[in-house]
Structure 1
Amino acid sequence: MKSLQQYRIPFTGLKIGKHQFGYELDERFFAEFEYSLVKNGKLTVLLEMEKQETMLILSFTIKGIIFLSCDVCLADYPYPVEIAERQIAKFGSSEEDDMDEIIILGRNDHEIDISTLLYEYVNVAVPYINRCADEGNTEWCDKEMISRLESLAPKEESDETTENTADPRWEALKKIKNN
């Protein structure tokens, strides 16, 4: 977790107004999170933090590529990512409920850790189904794996054999449907 130290922003010494920060996310960042969907990537983070009297407004812009494993051919391929998110951190007491949309910072807090926010934003950007062909990355597709899968796929039967082995109960149901 020492490598995540750079993602802690001390806000106590900052003047009221807008401040900008820049970060690079790569495999070292993702290695810090055990169950991350993303294991490697090259992302640039631009953070604009607006400090106000009672809150911090964090505006994130994350651009770059992450490497995903294709669900079909299992090849790793680059997936372009462009994320724009906003987070509000409010100064308050620790007794207040921590909401999903707003981070509550205690009176004794002097820095904010954005590493978990960055981790969540990137992992939420991962598509539910990963297919390299969907992204137009056919050069990354493992052709040998696709040919093996096609050879192991069940062969389609012709309509004639299907009709001959049809269950007579289905034929009776088809007659009822047609009436």
Structure 2
Amino acid sequence: MKSLQQYSIPYTGLKLGVHQFEFEVDDTFFREFEYSLVKSGKLKVDLELEKQETMMILHFRISGEMMLGCDVCLGNYPYQVEIDERQIAKFTGNVDLEEDTEEIIVLTKNENEINVASLIYEYINLAVPYINRCDDEGNTEWCDQEMIKKLRELSGGSGEESEDVDPRWEALKNIKK
């Protein structure tokens, strides 16, 4: 977890107003999270922190490329990502008075820095599509041609309809007429 220390921002010494921070996210970052959907990538994080009297507004702009595994051919392929997210961090005087929510992070008076690594990780993983597929299945340099060939063989040949149709289905087709 030492490599995630670079994502800590000491906010106690910051003046009120807008502050800019930049972070690089690479394979080392993803290795820190054991069950990450993303195993490798090269992303840039532009963080705009607006410090106010009672809160901070964190605006994340994450862009770059991450490698995902295709659900069809199982090969890795690059996936471009552009993420724009906002998070609010609220200052509170009492330690046990309030708890974090999805929209607001609560910072107590005992804390003096905020680590944004978990937020960056969460935003990147939320950008991963539900179904991962190569852009042009079977025709790209990233697609595993051997796997596509094997899948076609195992799925029953050329993909044409079988001529052996159960006669009961033919009888049902005649009912519509």
Answer yes or no: same fold by TM over 0.5: yes
Higher Rg of the two aligned structures: 1
How far is 1:119 from its partner?
0.3
Tell whether the 8 Å contact from 2:138 to 2:148 is kept in structure 1 after alignment: no
Q: Which moved more, 1:93-102 or 1:73-82?
A: 93-102
How far is 1:143 from its partner?
1.3
Letter of the 2:168 partner, please give it.
D
Tell whether the 8 Å contact from 1:43 to 1:64 is kept in structure 2 after alignment: yes
Q: Which moved more, 1:74-83 or 1:136-145?
A: 136-145
Tell whether the 8 Å contact from 2:90 to 2:106 is kept in structure 1 after alignment: yes
Structure 2 counterparts to residues 65-144 of structure 1, below 5 A: 65-92=65-92, 93=94, 94-134=96-136, 138-144=140-146
Please give the alpha-carbon distance, in whole angstroms, between the structure 2 residues aligned to 1:67 and 1:137: 18
Tell whether the 8 Å contact from 2:134 to 2:142 is kept in structure 1 after alignment: yes
Tell whether the 8 Å contact from 1:88 to 1:103 is kept in structure 2 after alignment: yes
Structure 2 counterparts to residues 137-152 of structure 1, below 5 A: 138-152=140-154
TM-score scaled to structure 2, two decimals?
A: 0.89
How far is 1:174 from its partner?
5.0
Tell whether the 8 Å contact from 1:79 to 1:135 is kept in structure 2 after alignment: no
Tell whether the 8 Å contact from 1:77 to 1:137 is kept in structure 2 after alignment: no
Please, which runs of 5 or more residues in structure 2 have no aligned partner? Answer: none
Q: From the superposition, tell whether residues 129 and 49 of structure 1 become closer, same or farther in structure 2 (CA, over 3 Å).
A: same
Alpha-carbon RMSD across the aligned residues, in angstroms, is: 2.0
Matched residue, 1:26: 26
Q: From the superposition, tell whether residues 13 and 77 of structure 1 become closer, same or farther in structure 2 (CA, over 3 Å).
A: same
How far is 1:136 from its partner?
10
Please give the alpha-carbon distance, in whole angstroms, between the structure 1 residues aligned to 2:138 and 2:56: 40
> What whole-Å deviation, never above 9, does each CA across 1:83-127 have from its counterpart, x for those lacking one?
111100001133213221011111211111100000000000000
* Percentage identity across paired residues of the two chains: 62
Please give the alpha-carbon distance, in whole angstroms, between the structure 2 residues aligned to 1:137 and 1:39: 24
> What whole-Å deviation, never above 9, does each CA across 1:117-169 have from its counterpart, x for those lacking one?
0000000000011111359982211112111110111255544x21xx3238x
Please, which runs of 5 or more residues in structure 1 have no aligned partner? Answer: none
Letter of the 2:68 partner, please give it.
L
Matched, 1:61 2:61: yes
TM-score scaled to structure 1, two decimals?
A: 0.89
Runs of 4+ in 1 over 3 A off after TM superposition: 134-137, 155-159, 173-178
Letter of the 1:105 partner, please give it.
L
